[in-house]
Structure formats: C-alpha cells, structure tokens
C-alpha cells in the first residue's frame, strides 16, 4: 500500500516537476511568477485533444502540434502581459495581476469555445497493467514518468550545452550586461516563456491521458501545485523545480493516506505556506542557476 | 479628454443598467410579442462550469413548451420562456431572483440546479408567492420554511434506501464498499443508503469520500481494494464516477458496481462505458423503458434533438413545465393561484407516471437500470417503498 | 470643459452616491435595491483591500478569507448562540480581525508577491476548513435560514431596510477609515508602502503598523461578509472561492490604490456593470480580465488616477520626522 502510493506520487510528481520547470525558468530570468502557467497547461491538453480529433491520432503528431501552438500562446502572454510592464519598470506585483488576468482569459475562452463538459481523451496506445511484487503499475504511468524525465534531461542539456541555453542563463544572471554584449534579450525572454509552455503542454497532454479526460478548470489547481513545487525545491532553479515536483507529489500521496483524501489540496497549500515562512529559498537553498 | 470619456463611460453603464435591467431575458419559443403569453422563467447555470446541465434543463423545457404551443397553448395563450443564467452562484441567484420578481408577467420559475442557488432564491420568491419548481435539487431543507419550492426529482430519502435493496436483495451483495461525493447531495444519499443497508444485513466494509472536480482517487480505491469488497457502491456525479471506474480497473478491483441515477448520461458511456459494463443503477426512467408515457417522451425528444437520448434533467424540467402549465390551467393565472395549483397537484400525468405533490415534493416510482452492451437498459421496476 | 472636470473631480463620490441612492428609491424596484446593497457590501470589501494593499503596500490576494470568517462567525453566533444579529455581525468582524492578527505576523517575514501568494494559500485553507469542518459549518451543505438583522424589535427584511443598513455601515466605516488614513497612522502606512527602510530608519515600528493594517482591514472584510450572510440568508463554501478574491482585486485595481473614493467607484462600477453586462454571458470573466490588463498597462492608478484623486506620497519620511512619530510608538 505504501509503495503503491509512492508510485502514484512519482507519477503525479513528474507532472508537477514539468510545471515547476516552467515557473523556475521565468522566475530566474525576470524574478516574477507567471500566473497563467496553469491555464497554459490546460490549453496544451485541449490543443492535444483537438489535434487528435481534427488532424491525426498519432502520438508524435499530437504532442508536436499541441506543444508548438502552446508555445506560441505562452509567447503571447509574455508579449501582452509581461514585456510592456518590464519596459516601464513597473512593480513586480503588476505583472502578477496581468498574468493572472491572462490566465482567466484563457480559461474562459476555452470554456466558451469548448464548453464546460469533461471531454474524453484516450491515449493513442493500449494501456497494459503490470503487477510487480504486489504493486500495480500501468504502461501509461511508465510512459509519463519516462517522458517527463527525458524532457527534463533535454531541457538541462539545452540550458547547459547549447549556445541558446547559455544565452538564456546569461540573461538570468545579468540582463544588462548580456544585452550589452549584443544579445537580443527580448527574444530570449520570449523564448523562455515558449519553452516553459512547451513543457506545460506536454504535461497537460500526459495528464489528459492519465485521467482520460480534459476540462477547462483543470489548470488552476495544477498551476498552483506546480508553483508550490518550484518554491519547495528552490525558486529560480530548474533542478529545484524537478526535486520539488517529485517531493510534492510523494508528500501529497502519502498525506492523503495518512490524513484521508479530503486533505489532498490542503496539503499542497500548507506546504507552500510553511516553505514561504520558514525556508523561502526552498530545499536546495541557493538563489539562482549557475 | 480622458476624464470626459471616463465620466461618459460611467454614465453609459448606469443608463445601460436602468434600461437593460428591465428587459434582460431572452425568449425563444415562437411566441408572438403582440399576443398575450404565459411567461415562465427558467433559472439555471447557462454558463460556467455547470453550463452543460443548464443546457439540459433548456432542452426539456423547450420540448414541452413546443408541444404545448403546437397544441394551441394554455387557455388560448402561448407559453413564453425567459432564461436567466445563475452560473451556479448563490449571489447571482439573489440578484436574478429579484429581477424575476420584478417582472410581473412571470408566473412561475423552473430551476435551479444546485441547492445553494435555490436556497438563495427561495426567501425572495416566498415573499411574493412565486413558485419555484426545481428539476434536480434534492436537499430536504429546501422545502422547509417556505411555500414556494417544489422538488421534481424524488428525494434521496426515497431512492437511496432503494439502492440498498438493489444491491443486497437483488444482487446478493455481502461485503459492500461505498465511495460517495462530499457535497450536500452525496452525504445525504450515503447516509440513507447505509442506514437501509445495515437494516438489510449488509456488511459495509469501507466508506470513502471524493471531492467534486477531484480526479485522483487512487488513494481511496487502494483503501477499498484492501478490504476486498464484492460490491462497490458509487454515489457520485458521472464525471467523477467515470474516473473512479477506470482507476478501479487500473488497480485491479473486481467488484459489482451499483450506483445512483446520476450516471445515466451519454457522456458517462463515452468516457467510461467499457469499464462499467454490468453496472446497475436506480433511476426515474430509461430510454428503453416499457412504460408508454416514457416511450412517448423519449421518441418526441429524439425527434426534436437529432436522435439524442434524454436524461433525468431533461425529463424533470419537461415535467416541471408541464406541472406549472397544468396548475395555471386548472387553478388560475396569478402567481398565488399557480402556487395553490402546484400545492394541490394530484395525478398529473408526467413522464414516469402519475405525479402528486405531497408537501412540496413528489415521490415517483423508480426503476433499476443496467449497463448492458454499452447501453443503459431497463432491468425492472423497483419495489415501491 | 475645465469647469466640468473640476466639478467631477471634486464631487465624484457624492455624484456616484447620489445615483446609487436615487435610482432604487425613486423606482421602488426591489431589484435595484438588491444591486445597490451588493454595491455597498463590495464597497466595504474593496476598502478593506485598499487599506492593506493600496495604503500600506502589503499585497493581499486572499482577502476573501476574512470575508468568509466574518460570514461564518456571525452566522454561527446568531443561529447557535442566539446572539442578536447586529451584535453577531460586529463580533464576526472582530473574530475576522483576530485572524488578521494571525496573518499579520507571518506577513512581517514576507513581502511583495510572496506575501500575496501566502494570503492566497491562507484563503484556500480557510475554504477547505469550511468544507471539512462539518460539525461547525455543515460543510458543503451550507447554512440556510440565516436570521435577518433586527433592531429594537423591528426586523430588517425589505430591500429598502437592508439598503439603509448597509449605507449606515458603509458611512461609518468610510468616515473612520478616512480619518485614519488622513491621520498620522495613515502617513505611516503610506511611508511603509513607499519606502519601508527609510521609515524604519527614523524609528517607526514597522511591524506594529503592518499588523495593524491587516487587523483593521480584516475587521472590515469580516463585517462585509457577515452582512452578506444575513442578507442572502444562505452561505456555503462555494461563496468564498478565489473567483471572489479576483473580483475584489479587480474592483481595487479599477478604483486605484490609496484612494477611498476610488475604491467606492471601482466597487460600484463593477457591481453595476456585472448586472448591466448580463448579455455578455460567458464573456463576462474575459471582459474582467481584459479590463484589468488594460488598466494596469495604461492607467495603473485606475479611477483615482484618471480623476486625480489619489494620495500625495512625495516627501513622506520627512513629513513623518516632522511629526515626531518615532517617540510615540504605541499610540494609535
């Protein structure tokens, strides 16, 4: 029973981790929190659904199309709600309100266009179940964890081994110097939002498969938990986000076992508040990605 | 310039309110604006998270209104429906209730979906004897302390014990696990079910709770699996129910499913039909019901709505409008008279049989329904309590 | 044109108040009374947000928590302990204020966005508690049949009665908060918002004033919640979601920071607009979102900025020094 719960926790945790990376990237760059990230996640899931219905049932196609379109949406959010404020030098709080508003707009647009019903979203491959030492795990869960981990590896490679990645990290260290060195900072900021949104879209599609449906309000809570995970691990750090995601997922699953399922969401919020109060730099403690 | 614009905008908003508020509803049942009409309001969540429910209310009402109007109307007048969107929010409900009360032409209200909306609206309607017939709300407290709320959906104090009969007497359940929704409906259903189940000698091995909108029930189901039940009673709405049966399969739970009528929805079949094969539920009617009044309704509905099958919400709102029209015809044309007529409603022929309001609620015969070959089909009539 | 501008600027509040009062009274329409009373409730709610966020610079995104606490506390006192409703409302506000104290302390450690998030988390926890603690709040079943207020045997149950009551409460609160913000305490609040370090350096006890702001704003929000409970006569956890917090945030942003007339304006405009714009249906929330973004991008000081009725904040620390506040720490 305990191990089973931990397996559940790891599956959910990998989703939280994907979300947390998006928050971490934006935070490390601009020291602000993108409150529309949860709705971007939901948008990715819906785009996946419609790709499946209108274009092709092929998993790669679904993932590809949804991810690219969601990245565009993420960049729109940056252009509309973030960069004008950055240019004006407005207080960080303002971008909190604007990104929050963008999130509400996205959620309600999807609500109006697609309706509030739960829409079925079956994975394009048959799900098999395995019994290993009394623990039941499905092929879907394995795919989710594997895919999430691979995406994390890809992102890390991207950030540490490629030119673009280094440029983004340079921006996060010191925007002025980097721009003085001839880097077009705006493009990289937009790119960061884009990449974060891609991860969110992938997470959205995976969650859609996991529960077999999508609906417009699925983003809000996951967004909050993804954010909690990034704070838990260490704001502004990708590795922190990953760690925080898995830790939160496991804490949540164990917590529902101990305190009953009623408290699932309360656990996440309590963790958030406790971390903010007592260890605001998160588990990994350091300030920024080096 | 900007300030002038701002003040102008403010003035416009205020004028809009004053003008717009008096004529805020939309009507669409083919009633001529010139003719005198019988105006009935529908209060439902037409947008927001519960919009698909509001849509179902609308369908039921529209079908009945069309039939009435095609048959010459009521006392020579056509039925006119005015729709009001409460978004499932109690605060909106209070505002809308006032809006409706101030439209003197409206003689009765059909609505709403959630108990919280009804609770917010009834005190306002009670002051002017404006009847409110709800197709779905089930909280027993709704009909206390007021003379205007009428419940169309048979209360769970009646059908929840029947679920116990279905499980234990019909299906020979021995070790029963219950998973129920943590809201005012689910808690009530569970309590009545457990009470009866215990009386019948059933052994309740587990009771787990799920939240509206929650999607992950592995914890609860893992706990249930550990108790090895032969029967799993699911008392939730269909969305959560669909996820529950899938996750139960994923965890390897093998039990007879018994559930409440909330599952008789096409969407449930779409989402999880294959996992729930063989499930039994209690409901007010089902598409292949042998009763002629049901068949008539289902056929008329299919014709009007492109072969879709009606569910409980369509059925109850259809009957709600029918009951109101009946009261209008037989008791009188004012709000007070309609109210009186509803209180005295006796043997009105509704979809599932003869309807009589007893103490502002109706007790209808229930049927057992089985999910067979991917379709909901009639099993047998429930022994009347 | 200049004359009109000046006139409007000077009498904005009075004009708005006049319209809100005259429309229902002249028409006698109970729907207008309903909307006008809701305006009053939201005015209180928005003022409470403005006091702590606009004046004192402490971002609160979870004000609905105090609103909820006030509502439940007042309801339970009135129904289970037979406390007279008006008294229960005041006590409800006080209990909310106690929670304001609880929030105030952690607030000291956090700032900016993180404080906002912590308050959001707190609001969520309050809502979960109201769902789970069935024995106290009846959880998702909600509490119907909440008693109406009465005074000397007269029961307040008509639209007109409630409207008069909320006007009385709003006027009292407005005058009190106005006096407060124009007093030395108000100056301290503003200086905390503008430059905490500078204020601290001249000896002001920042902690005390921050907590004070939270406590007073929680009290006001609690009263607003209690009034709402006894007005709608039914509450349940679904009344107190983050959507409600977002609505009040919109009203505050629309009204503008540190401006009481602005808050009144923001609350009234959005409450009335949400009724007038019913035809927008599903697009209403989208409209609010677009409105907020537009205001923040182009007119961050909202109505108060447009009508130039906000607080002057230049040269604050100097002013405070002149007032010699640092030696009068405990004074209110």
CA R_g for chain A: 18
Q: How far is CA C149 from CA B42, C77, C170, in A?
A: 31, 13, 16
What is the residue-averaged pLDDT of chain B?
86
Q: Identify which of A29-33, A110-114, A185-189 has the greatest average pLDDT.
A: A110-114
Q: Residue A116: pLDDT band by 50, 70, 90 thresholds?
A: confident
Q: What's the mean pLDDT in B204-220?
A: 84
Those of residues 140-199 in B touching chain A at CB distance below 8 A are 182
The pLDDT > 90 percentage for chain B reads 47
Cβ-based neighbour number of residue C263 at 10 Å: 33
Mutate to test the interface with B, among A49, A116, A129, A209 (most CBs of B within 10 A): A116
Nearest to B14 by CA among C153, A275, C163, C19: C19
Instruction: Quickly count: other Cβ atoms within 10 Å of residue A284's Cβ.
Output: 17
For residue C53, give the nearest of C184, C216, C297 by alpha carbon. C216
When pLDDT is averaged across residues B254-279 and rounded to a whole number, the result is 87
Q: What is the pLDDT of residue C67?
A: 96
And the tokens for C13?
């509040």
Q: What are phi and psi of B131, to 5 degrees?
A: -75, 140
**Confidence (pLDDT) at B11:** 56
In degrees, to the nearest 5, what angle opens at C-alpha B53 toward C-alphas B49 and B56? 150
For residue C313, the model assigns a pLDDT of 53
Contacts with A37 (C-beta within 8 Å, 6 or more apart), sequence order: A19, A22, A23, A26, A103, A196, A197, A200, A223, A226, A227
What residues of B are in contact with residue C286 (Cβ under 8 Å)?
Answer: none
Longest Cα pair distance anywhere in chain B, in angstroms?
79
Q: Which residues of C touch A (CB under 8 A)?
A: 59, 106, 109-110, 112-114, 116-118, 121-122, 124-125, 128, 131-132, 242, 246, 249, 253, 282-283, 285-286, 288-290, 292-293, 296-297, 300
Q: Does B209 touch chain C (CB under 8 A)?
A: no
Q: Give the residue from chain C lying closest to A105, CA to CA.
A: C286
List CB contacts (< 8 A) between A261 and chain B: 208-211, 214, 217, 219-220
- In this structure, are residues C117 and A276 in contact, taking their beta carbons and an 8 Å threshold? yes
- Residues of chain B found within 8 Å of residue C31, distances taken between Cβ atoms: 21, 95, 98-99, 101-102
Residue B179 pLDDT greater than 90, yes or no: yes
The secondary structure of chain A in percent helix, strand, coil, rounded to multiples of 5, reads 75, 5, 20
- Report which of B300, B303, B295 is spatially closest to residue B352, judged by C-alpha positions: B295
What order do you get walking across the sheet with B149-151 strand by strand?
Answer: B78-85, B37-44, B106-111, B131-134, B149-151, B361-362, B357-358
Chains that touch C (3 or more CB pairs under 8 A): A, B
The tens place of each residue's pLDDT in chain C, 332 residues long, gives 677 777 776 677 778 778 888 888 888 888 999 999 999 999 999 999 999 998 888 888 889 999 999 999 999 999 999 899 999 999 999 999 999 998 888 878 887 778 888 888 889 889 988 988 888 888 888 898 899 998 888 888 888 899 999 999 999 999 999 999 888 888 888 888 888 788 788 888 888 899 999 999 999 999 999 999 999 999 999 889 888 888 898 899 888 888 888 899 899 988 988 888 887 777 888 888 898 899 888 888 888 777 766 555 555 555 656 655 444 443 33
- Residue A130 — left, alpha, or beta (φ > 0 → left; ψ -120 to 50 → alpha)? beta
CA distance A23 to A35: 9
Angle at B288 between CA B287 and CA B290, to 5 degrees: 120
Distance CA A98, CA A104 (A): 10
- Rounded to the nearest 10 degrees, the angle between the axes of helix B335-343 and helix B312-331 is 110
Q: How far apart are CA C291 and CA B170, in angstroms?
A: 59
Which chain B residues contact residue A115 at CB under 8 A?
51-52
Residue C138 per-residue DSSP state: -
The partner residue sitting opposite B51, judged by closest CB among A116, A256, A264, is A116
Q: Do C114 and A80 touch (CB under 8 A)?
A: no
The H-or-E segment that residue A213 falls in is strand A213-214
* List of residues 6+ apart from C282 with CB closer than 8 A: A108, A111, A112, B47, B48, B51
Q: Is the pLDDT of residue A46 over 90?
A: yes
Q: Which residues of A touch C285 (CB under 8 A)?
A: 104-105, 107-108
Q: In DSSP terms, which residues pair with A137 in a beta bridge?
A: A130
What is the average per-residue pLDDT within B99-108? 93
Beta strands per DSSP E along B96-222: 106-111, 131-134, 149-151, 175-181, 203-210
Q: Which residues of A touch B51 (CB under 8 A)?
A: 111, 115-116
Q: How confident is the model over A166-174, as a mean pLDDT?
A: 69
Distance, in Å, from the CA atom of C83 to the CA atom of C74, rounded to the nearest integer, reads: 9
Per-residue pLDDT at C81: 92
The answer to whether the Cβ–Cβ distance between C117 and A33 falls below 8 Å is yes
Chain C nearest C-alpha distance from B157 (Å): 16
In angstroms, the Cα distances linking C13 to B277, C9, C24, C309 are 65, 9, 18, 10
**Average per-residue pLDDT for chain A:** 84
So what's the pLDDT on residue B218?
82
Q: Is B94 on the interface with C (CB under 8 A)?
A: yes
Instruction: Give the whole-angstrom CA distance, residue B377 versus residue A250.
Output: 42
Report pLDDT for C329.
Answer: 41
Chain A residue set in contact with C, beta carbons under 8 Å: 32-33, 80-81, 84-85, 90-94, 96-98, 100-102, 104-105, 107-109, 111-112, 220, 227, 262-263, 265-266, 269-270, 272-273, 276-277, 280
pLDDT score of A174: 66
Contacts with C286 (C-beta within 8 Å, 6 or more apart), sequence order: A104, A105, A108, A109, A112
pLDDT of residue A99: 92
pLDDT tens digits, residue range B50-67? 888 899 999 999 999 999
Q: Residue C143 forms beta bridges with which residues?
A: C235
DSSP helix/strand/coil, C251: helix
Would the pLDDT of A235 be above 60?
Answer: yes
For chains A and C, count residue pairs whose Cβ atoms are closer than 8 Å.
97
Question: For residue B39, what are the β-bridge partners?
Answer: B80, B106
DSSP B287: T
How much is the ipTM here?
A: 0.83
With CA atoms as reference, report the closest residue to A98 among B95, B325, C293, C8: C293
What pLDDT does C323 receive?
A: 59
Angstrom distance (rounded) from CA C203 to CA C181: 20
Lowest mean pLDDT among B28-32, B320-324, C22-26, C60-64: B28-32
Residue for token digits 């029930």?
A: B217
Chain position carrying tokens 């409800």: C92
Which long-range CB contacts under 8 A does C243-249 form with residues at least 24 apart?
C244/C64, C244/C67, C245/C61, C245/C62, C245/C63, C245/C64, C245/C120, C245/C123, C246/A100, C246/A104, C246/C288, C247/C288, C248/C42, C248/C45, C248/C46, C248/C49, C248/C63, C248/C64, C249/A97, C249/C49, C249/C61, C249/C292
């Amino acid at each position: 029973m305990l191990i089973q719960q931990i397996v559940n926790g790891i599956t959910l945790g990998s989703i939280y981790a994907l979300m947390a990376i998006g928050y971490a990237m934006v935070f490390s760059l601009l020291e602000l929190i993108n409150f529309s990230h949860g709705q971007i996640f939901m948008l990715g899931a819906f785009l996946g659904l419609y790709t499946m219905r209108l274009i092709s049932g092929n998993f790669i196609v679904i993932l590809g199309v949804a991810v690219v379109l969601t990245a565009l949406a993420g960049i729109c959010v940056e252009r509309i709600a973030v960069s004008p404020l950055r240019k004006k030098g407005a207080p960080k709080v303002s971008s909190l309100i604007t990104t929050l508003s963008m999130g509400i707009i996205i959620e309600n647009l999807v609500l109006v266009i697609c309706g509030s019903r739960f829409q079925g979203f079956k994975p394009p491959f048959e799900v098999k179940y395995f019994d290993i030492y009394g623990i039941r795990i499905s092929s879907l869960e394995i795919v989710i964890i594997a895919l999430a981990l691979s995406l994390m590896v890809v992102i890390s490679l991207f950030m540490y081994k490629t030119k673009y990645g280094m440029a983004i990290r340079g921006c996060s260290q010191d925007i002025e110097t980097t721009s003085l060195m001839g880097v077009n900072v705006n493009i990289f900021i937009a790119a960061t939002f884009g990449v974060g949104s891609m991860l969110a879209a992938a997470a959205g599609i995976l969650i859609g498969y996991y529960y077999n449906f999508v609906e417009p309000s699925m983003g809000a809570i996951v967004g909050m938990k993804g954010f909690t995970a990034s704070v838990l691990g260490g704001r502004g750090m990708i590795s922190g986000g990953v760690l925080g995601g898995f830790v939160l997922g496991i804490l949540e699953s164990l917590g529902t076992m101990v305190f009953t399922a009623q408290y699932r969401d309360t656990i996440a919020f309590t963790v958030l508040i406790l971390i903010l109060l007592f260890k605001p730099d998160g588990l990994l403690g350091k300030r920024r990605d080096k | 310039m900007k300030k002038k614009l701002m003040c102008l905008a403010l003035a416009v908003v205020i004028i809009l309110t004053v003008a717009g508020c008096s004529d805020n509803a939309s009507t669409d049942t083919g009633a001529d604006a010139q003719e005198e009409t019988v105006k009935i309001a529908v209060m439902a969540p037409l947008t927001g998270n519960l919009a698909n429910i509001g849509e179902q209310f609308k369908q039921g009402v529209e079908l009945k209104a069309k039939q009435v109007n095609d048959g010459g109307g009521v006392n020579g007048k056509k039925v006119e429906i005015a729709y009001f969107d409460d978004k499932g929010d109690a605060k909106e409900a209070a505002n809308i209730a006032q809006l409706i009360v101030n439209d003197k032409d409206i003689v009765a209200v059909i609505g709403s979906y959630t108990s919280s909306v009804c609770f917010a609206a009834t005190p306002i309607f009670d002051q002017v004897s404006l009847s409110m017939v709800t197709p779905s709300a089930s909280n027993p407290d709704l009909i206390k302390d007021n003379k205007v709320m009428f419940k169309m959906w048979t209360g769970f104090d009646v059908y929840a014990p029947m679920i116990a009969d279905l499980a234990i007497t019909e299906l020979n359940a021995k070790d029963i696990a219950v998973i129920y929704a943590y809201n005012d409906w689910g808690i009530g259903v569970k309590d009545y079910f457990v009470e009866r189940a215990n009386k019948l000698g059933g052994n309740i091995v587990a009771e787990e709770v799920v939240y509206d909108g929650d999607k992950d029930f592995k914890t609860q189901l893992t706990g249930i699996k550990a108790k090895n039940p032969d029967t799993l009673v699911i008392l939730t709405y269909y969305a959560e129910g669909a996820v529950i049966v899938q996750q139960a399969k994923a965890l390897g739970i093998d039990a007879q499913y018994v559930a409440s009528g909330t599952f008789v929805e096409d969407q449930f079949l779409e989402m999880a039909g294959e996992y729930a094969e063989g499930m039994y539920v209690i409901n007010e009617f089902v598409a292949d019901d042998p009763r002629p009044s049901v068949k008539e309704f289902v056929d008329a509905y299919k014709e009007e709505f492109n072969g879709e099958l009606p569910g409980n919400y369509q059925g109850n709102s259809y009957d709600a409008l029918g009951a109101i029209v009946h009261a209008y015809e037989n008791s009188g044309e004012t709000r007070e008279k309609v109210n009186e007529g509803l209180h005295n409603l006796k043997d009105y022929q509704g979809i599932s049989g003869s309807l009589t309001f007893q103490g502002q609620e109706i007790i209808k015969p229930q049927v057992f329904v089985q999910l067979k070959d991917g379709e909901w089909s009639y099993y047998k009539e429930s022994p009347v309590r | 044109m200049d004359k009109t501008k000046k006139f409007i600027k000077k009498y904005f509040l009075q004009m708005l108040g006049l319209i809100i009062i005259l429309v229902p009274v002249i028409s006698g329409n109970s729907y207008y009374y309903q909307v006008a009373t809701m305006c009053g409730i939201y005015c209180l709610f928005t003022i409470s947000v403005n006091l702590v966020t606009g004046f004192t610079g402490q971002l609160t995104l979870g004000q609905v928590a105090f609103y909820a606490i006030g509502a439940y506390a007042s309801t339970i006192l009135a129904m289970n302990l037979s406390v007279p409703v008006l008294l229960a409302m005041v006590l409800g506000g006080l209990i909310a204020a106690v929670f304001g104290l609880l929030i105030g302390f952690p607030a000291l450690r956090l700032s900016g966005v993180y404080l906002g998030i912590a308050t959001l988390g707190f609001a969520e926890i309050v809502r979960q508690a109201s769902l789970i603690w069935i024995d106290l709040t009846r959880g998702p079943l909600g509490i119907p049949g909440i008693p109406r207020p009465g005074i000397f045997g007269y029961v307040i149950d008509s639209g007109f009665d409630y409207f008069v009551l909320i006007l009385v409460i709003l006027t009292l609160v407005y005058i009190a908060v106005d006096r407060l913000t124009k007093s030395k305490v108000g100056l301290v609040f503003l200086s905390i918002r503008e430059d905490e370090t500078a204020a601290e350096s001249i000896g002001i006890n920042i902690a005390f004033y921050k907590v004070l702001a939270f406590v007073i704003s929680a009290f006001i929000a609690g009263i607003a919640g209690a009034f709402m409970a006894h007005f709608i006569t039914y509450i349940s956890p679904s009344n107190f979601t983050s959507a409600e917090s977002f609505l009040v945030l919109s009203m505050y942003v629309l009204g503008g920071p540190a401006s009481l007339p602005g808050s009144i304006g923001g609350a009234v405009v959005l409450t009335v607009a949400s009724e007038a714009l019913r035809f927008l249906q599903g697009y209403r929330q989208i409209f609010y979102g677009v409105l907020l973004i537009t205001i923040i991008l182009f007119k961050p000081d909202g109505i108060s900025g447009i009508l130039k009725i906000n607080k002057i904040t230049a040269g604050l620390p100097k002013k405070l020094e002149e007032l010699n506040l640092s030696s009068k720490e405990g004074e209110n």
